[in-house]
């Protein structure tokens, strides 16, 4: 266990977990300013794929390179379907896993959005997250609220972890609290 915080943002689906995460990331980037040698933020984020105003899937995106892959989509023909989406763990392995591994030790804050139903279908992702959590650097994760996957249970039990739940009441102020926790030097 390190001295840098591992902060999990959790909440019900569509509660604003990713919105809180995005706000923290943009505030960290502003704080850093231009001309820095080290990249402030690295890791993976998830983004809804919207077609004709409807959510049809999810992409995983490497924060540092911008590369993306479709990890879940209604049109993916897979034996592995969750919430009506076909899951493609090979895209998580291709984009998400290297994004996490490349960020370990090479940036100031590691972001993993989202540790949840789709991503834990990739053994490589689960291994990369476990590896990242052993490295002593500030880490910001969004966590599926109800998953009982062993990885999520381990994250919730960590001594160096703080789990914060997004609610309609705290959604606007939570990014500032997260930023304060990340910025506090032990």
pLDDT digits (tens, 9 = 90+) for 36-92: 555 688 999 999 999 999 999 999 999 999 999 999 999 999 988 988 999 999 999
Percent of the chain exceeding pLDDT 70 equals 94
Q: Which two tokens stand for residue 114?
A: 């989202």
In sequence order, the β-bridge partners of residue 107 are: 39
Domain 6-183, CATH among 3.30.1370.140, 3.40.50.300, 3.30.750.24, 3.30.1640.10: 3.40.50.300
- Extract the tokens encoding 116: 């949840």
Using CA atoms, how far residue 135 sits from 46, 101, 109, 110, 121, in Å, is: 22, 11, 11, 10, 23
Burial of 37 (0-12, 13-18, 19+ CB in 10 A): exposed
pLDDT digits (tens, 9 = 90+) for 9-44: 999 888 999 899 999 988 888 876 654 555 688 999
Q: How far apart are CA 141 and CA 44, in angstroms?
A: 10
Pairing of strands 81-82, 68-73: unpaired
Phi, psi of 52 (to 5 degrees): 50, 40
126 vs 128: CA distance, rounded Å = 6
Q: What is the pLDDT of residues 112-123, one digit of tens each?
A: 999 998 999 999
């Amino acid at each position: 266990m390190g001295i840098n915080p591992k902060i999990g943002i959790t909440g019900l689906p569509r509660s604003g977990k990713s919105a809180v995460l995005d706000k923290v990331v943009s505030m960290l980037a502003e704080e850093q300013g231009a001309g820095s040698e080290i990249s402030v933020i690295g890791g993976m984020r998830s983004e809804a794929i919207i077609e004709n105003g409807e959510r049809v899937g999810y992409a995983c995106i490497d924060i540092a390179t911008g590369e993306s892959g479709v990890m879940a989509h209604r049109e993916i023909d897979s034996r592995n379907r969750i919430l009506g989406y076909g899951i493609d763990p090979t895209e998580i392995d291709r984009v998400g896993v290297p994004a996490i591994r490349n960020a370990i030790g090479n940036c100031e804050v590691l972001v993993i959005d989202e540790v949840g139903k789709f991503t834990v279908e990739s053994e490589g992702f689960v291994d990369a997250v476990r590896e990242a959590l052993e490295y002593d650097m500030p880490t910001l994760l969004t966590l599926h609220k109800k998953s009982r996957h062993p990885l999520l249970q381990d994250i919730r039990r960590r001594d160096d972890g703080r789990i914060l739940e997004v609610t309609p009441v705290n959604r606007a102020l939570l990014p500032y609290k997260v930023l304060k926790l990340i910025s506090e030097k032990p």
